[in-house]
Chain A
Amino acid sequence: MTADLRAASADRASDRPAREPTRAERPRRRGRFGVPLFLAAVSLAFLAPLLLAVYASLRPYEETAEHGYFSWPEHMSFDYYRQAYTESGMGKYFTNTLLIAVPAVLLTLFLASFVAFAVSRVRIRGGMLLLMLFTAGNLLPPQVLVTPLYALFLKIPLPWWMSDSLTLYDSLWALVLVNVGFQIGFCVFVLSNFMRTLPKEILEAAIVDGAGVWTQFWRITLPLCRPALAALATLEFTWIYNDFLWALIFISNPDKLPITSSLNNLRGQFFTDYNLLAAGSVLVALPTVLVFLLLQRHFIAGLTLGSGKG
């Protein structure tokens, strides 16, 4: 779209009588090779650590120990991936992460969209204050919340079929809860900005037809928010998947840790095989990179939704 606009403005420029090239046009010619070269170099530098990790993970430890990571490969195999997957129990940790992230993302989106709806569409009293409290809540440093939550979770009993620790502490529920509570603020902020841009008339027509609050929300507003919800879902999944701190604090049983923590299991006590660890890192990073590559447009929309004015 921007390209069209730019082309249009270029056309307009050429309609005018011929003129001397302005100073503004000259540096562009100089940058014809410089800019692509610069961008290519920066891109390579950004990609290098990832490529290196993949490269290292394909080579046996003995080889890199002898020649360094920066050497020509003699043997390459996917052996370390198999080993990383089996040795660190990655399948189990990945399941844990999904058990945390999927419900957390769905709950966050549902609850946040209703708050956003109440604030921006129903315009309840005190809505602005609510919006501020939710938004500010998401910006707090997580460590500020840690101690009281830790103490609180230890005191909340859960039946045995929900948590074998019999408390909220050391259960996946704690992580779902804390992620929802913490992330809801960001989604409320983004969604209420988004909902403000929806045409008022649709809702007004529905109200005249006698639609209650629930219908206005579920049947009318939410379907219109689908692009924003898709964007947020992508983004929130990535964030919750990558979470590291909450699990560190609220989980003590190593079997319940999410996948980001599983990397530590690949670190030996006396000796660490960095190539194995590289394979593990690639495996941990793979799901979010895949989500990113497949849903790139949503992901970017999610990051920028919160910042644009609608």
Chain B
Amino acid sequence: MRGSRSVPSKSAGRAGRRGPRRFTRRDTVVLGVLLGIPVLLEAVIVWGPTLASIGLSFTSWDGIGDIHWVGGKNYESLVDNYPAFWPAVRHNLLWIAFLGLVATPFGLLLAVLIDRGVRFSRFYQSVLYMPVVLSLAVVGFMAQLLLGTDQGVINTALGNESDPIDWLGNSDLNIWMMMIAASWRHTGYVMILYLAGLKSVDPALKEAAAIDGANTRQTFFRVVFPTLRPVNVIVGVITVIEALRAFDIVYAVNKGRNGLELLSVLITDNIIGEASRIGFGSAIAVVLLTVSLGFIVTFLVQELRGARDR
């Protein structure tokens, strides 16, 4: 696959086992520089810090003084006596479940309905994925406008102005509100991906299924849905990764406290908070990293297989 070309070359006779010499010196310089810069950047900005985070998670450091090796102590205190940790894990899992079981299927449903060719479908599409371009900070603010206790629209609409429900302050309720707000953006995103996928499904397949007597639901679940496999994989990864990365929206609402704890928030708090506990923050980061990497690797294996087939 690599290292060989189908182009006939005059120097082929002299070349070694790996085929003709491929690059002039100038080519090598161009490749070296233009690959070198992005690779260096990726190493310095992404992978170096990732490895460093893993290393720092075994240390105690306040960001200024000396770095002390403490072994697994950060992880122990994380699990045993950091009250915010388990709620954050629960919230992250809930976030994955909510996006995966509610927002993503809803996006798929909208895509299927729009793909059936209703009137004004262009308008619906535009409206439904408009939220995708909004900053989550803006979404967080809009949530306050809708759900606030004083003159919040929802409370006004429900007619309980005198005894408003504290949608954002009540720690049993607010995580649900945040997930709905996040779904507002996620649904549109998923819908676009599925719309693109559905457009590439061969209509003859559906027709054949209809002739065989399959109803709409059977056609969809047994014929169309399985052919969407590549899109399903992408949507699955996006759903999980987005859920694990959730941050801006809860941070914009109440800095991720009082019922809105998420792993991403705890990391940020420990690192840039007043008492920076960098080693400890890194340990939380490693937990998040481990979960994410599981999904990333699954996805890459899928992609790699696809690329090999091409």
Quick check: is A123 within 8 A (CB to CB) of the other chain? yes
Can you report 9 A-B residue pairs in the complex whose CB atoms are below 8 A from each other? A5-B203, A36-B120, A46-B131, A46-B184, A52-B153, A147-B49, A277-B141, A291-B133, A308-B200
Contacts of A245 in B (CB 8 A): 247-248, 268
Q: A112, A130, A303: which contacts B193 (Cβ < 8 A)?
A: A303
Is A77's beta carbon under 8 Å from chain B?
Answer: no
- Name the residue on B nearest A130 (C-beta): B39
Given A42-B128, A70-B153, A146-B268, CB of A242 within 8 Å of CB of B120: no
User: Looking at chain B's contact residues, is the secondary structure mostly helix, strand, loop, or mixed?
Assistant: helix
Interface centre among B50, B117, B219, B251 (most CB of A within 10 A): B50
Chain B residues whose CB sits within 8 angstroms of the CB of A42 once the complex forms: 110, 124, 128
Interface pair B307/A128, CB less than 8 Å apart: yes
In this assembly, does A65 line the interface, its C-beta being within 8 Å of a C-beta of chain B? Answer: yes
Binding site for A on B (CB under 8 A): 1-3, 5-7, 23-24, 26-27, 30-31, 34-35, 37-39, 41-42, 44-50, 52-53, 56, 63, 110, 113-114, 116-120, 123-124, 126-138, 141-146, 148, 150-153, 156-157, 161, 184, 188-189, 192-193, 195-197, 199-200, 203-204, 207, 209-211, 213-216, 219, 230-231, 234-235, 237, 241, 244-245, 247-248, 251-252, 263-264, 267-268, 271-272, 278, 281-282, 285-286, 288-289, 292-293, 295-297, 299-300, 303-304, 306-307, 310
Report if A256 contacts B (CB, 8 A): no
CA distance A241 to B120 in the complex (A): 30
With A13-B207, A115-B38, A140-B292 given, name 17 new contacts (CB 8 A): A24-B213, A31-B116, A36-B119, A50-B130, A134-B38, A135-B303, A141-B264, A143-B264, A143-B285, A145-B45, A145-B50, A207-B5, A207-B7, A245-B268, A261-B137, A281-B142, A307-B196
Known: A244-B251, A278-B145. A39 touches B135 (CB 8 A): no
- A260 engages B137 (CB within 8 Å): yes
Whole-angstrom CA separation of A149 from B46 in the bound complex: 9
Partner of B118, one of A25, A35, A143, A238: A35
**Chain A residues with Cβ under 8 A from B110's Cβ?**
39, 42
Given contacts A111-B41, A147-B278, contact A284 B138 (CB under 8 A): yes
Cβ–Cβ < 8 Å partners of B268 in chain A: 143, 146, 245, 248-249
Residue in B closest to A238 when the chains form the complex, CB atoms: B133
CB atoms of B156 and A147 under 8 A apart: no
A228 sits at the interface (CB 8 A): no
B31–A65 touching, CB < 8 Å: no
Contact A69 B247 (CB under 8 A): no
Would B138 and A181 count as touching, CB distance under 8 A?
Answer: no
Binding site for B on A (CB under 8 A): 1-3, 5-6, 9, 12-13, 22-25, 27-28, 31, 35-36, 38-40, 42-43, 46-47, 49-50, 52-53, 56, 64-65, 68-70, 111-112, 114-115, 118, 122-125, 127-128, 130-137, 139-152, 177-178, 180-182, 184-185, 188, 196, 204, 207-208, 212-214, 217, 238, 241-242, 244-245, 248-249, 260-261, 263, 274, 277-278, 281, 284-285, 288-289, 291-293, 296, 299-300, 303-304, 306-310
**B45, closest chain A residue (CB):** A181
Give Cα A188 to B135, complex, Å: 24
A-B pairs with CB below 8 Å: how many? Answer: 334
Closest 9 CB pairs of A and B: A181-B45, A148-B52, A304-B196, A148-B49, A242-B135, A137-B46, A307-B234, A145-B49, A213-B27
Contact: A148 with B248, CB < 8 Å? no
From B181, which residue of chain A is reached at the shortest CB distance? Answer: A49
Of B42, B247, B293, B300, most buried by chain A (CB within 10 Å of CB) is B42
Q: A69-B156, A147-B285 are in contact. Are A288 and B184 (CB under 8 A)?
A: no
Question: With contacts A53-B142, A143-B288 known, is A185 near B42, CB below 8 A?
Answer: yes
A118 pairs with B207, CB closer than 8 A: no
Query: Nearest residue in B to A249 (C-beta to C-beta)?
Result: B272
Q: Is B145 a contact of A52 with CB atoms below 8 Å? A: yes
B133 interface neighbour in A65, A249, A292, Cβ under 8 Å: A292
